[in-house]
Amino acid sequence: MLLAHPSCGTFRHDGGLDVEHHPERPERVQAAEAELERRGWLGCRRAEARPATLEQITAVHPQAYVDALRTAAERRLPFGSETAVTDESLATALYAAGGACALAEALLGGDAPTGFSLMRPPGHHADGVRPQGFCLLNSVAVAARHALDRLGARRVFILDWDVHHGNGTNEIFRNADAVLFASIHQAGLYPGTGPLSDAGSGPGEGYTINLPVPAGSDGEVWRSLVEHVVVPAAEAYRPDLVLISAGYDAHRDDPLAGCLLETEDFADMACHVRDLGARCGAPVGAVLEGGYDVGAVASGVVATLAALGGEGEAEMLAPDPIHTPRAASFVSHYWHLI
C-alpha cells in the first residue's frame, strides 16, 4: 500500500523562500513517485490520503498550537523561529499526518501487509508545542497515538533512522511506555539532542533508545546497531505495530549531513525491521521524514518499500567494534539483548 495525495508533491510551504532551492521541496516526493512508477509501483495499491481530523491532531498537538499554525499560515507569518509557512502549509501538514493515520488503519485493519506514507513535510522534529526544523505536525506521533487510542494497539514501536535526531517524537512519548522509540542519528548535528543517556523518564524510562553515531559513520555501523541493539530490544517489547520514521539524509549524497550510507543499507535495515514484525506478528509501515538529495530519497523510498514487501534478505553482520558494544551496554540495563 502506498499513500499519497495528488498535491503533496506540489504544495508550497516555503514561506516565500525560493522553493527550487529550499531543501524540503516538492521534488523530494515527485522524484520518489517517478521512480516508483518506473518500477510499476512495486505492485502496491495506491491510495489517496485524506487530511487528519482535528481529533487525531489534538491527541498530540494542543488546540492552541493548531490555531497558531492556522493563523500563521493564513497570514503568511513566520511560525516559530525555524519553520516558515504559506497559506498551503496547514493543508500540506494535515495531509501528511492523515496519510500516516490511514497507513496505521490499513495495517492494523488487515487491509495491507505493509505500506509507505509518501507525504511531506517531515514531522519528527515537531514536539507537540513547537515547530522545529522543517516540521509542523508530527505525523508519525499522530499515527502512533491514533493506533493506541482508536485502533486497538497496545504497544507501538517507532524506529527513526533519519540522520537528525527525532527530538519531537522523543519528547512526545518521553513519559510513555505504550511507545518504544529508537533513533539512530548523527551526533552533534541539528537539533543537537538524543544522547545515549536519554532513555526517557518516569513511566517511560527505558522506552527511549537513542543511538548517536559520529559523522563519517557508514552503513555497517548503522546496520550493526539495528541488528544487535534496536531489533532485539523491540522484539522483547513485542509491539502490535511498527512504524519507521524513514529519512534518507544519512545517505552519503545528502547535502545537510555527514554519514555515508548507500541505498542498499536502507534496504537491509528495512529487511531487519520487516523480519522483526513477522516474528512479533506486527505489521510494518514507513512514514517519510527527511532526505534532501532527491535521487537518494527516490532510491531509498523504493528500496525500503521493496524490502518491506518481501524483497531481499537481512544480512547478518558481526557487531561493529566500537559503537554497538557501547550502545548495547547501556540499553541492556532496560532490555535483554539476545
Q: Is the separation of the CB atoms in 273 and 233 below 8 Å?
A: no
C-alpha cell at 174: 518521553
Q: What pairs with residue 210 in β-bridges?
A: 183
Helix-helix angle 263-280:294-308, to 10 degrees: 30
Q: Is the separation of the CB atoms in 285 and 103 below 8 Å?
A: yes
Cβ neighbours of residue 240 under 8 Å, at least 6 residues apart?
108, 147, 152, 153, 154, 155, 156, 282
**Is 251 annotated in the active site?**
no
- CA angle, corner 200, sides to 338 and 24, nearest 5? 95
Catalytic residue from among 5, 125, 272, 323: 125
Sign of CA dihedral 95, 98, 99, 100: positive
Assign 3-state DSSP to the chain and report helix, strand, coil percentages, each to 5: 40, 15, 45
Q: Is the separation of the CB atoms in 140 and 274 below 8 Å?
A: no
Residue with cell 508533491: 9
Residues that are catalytic:
125
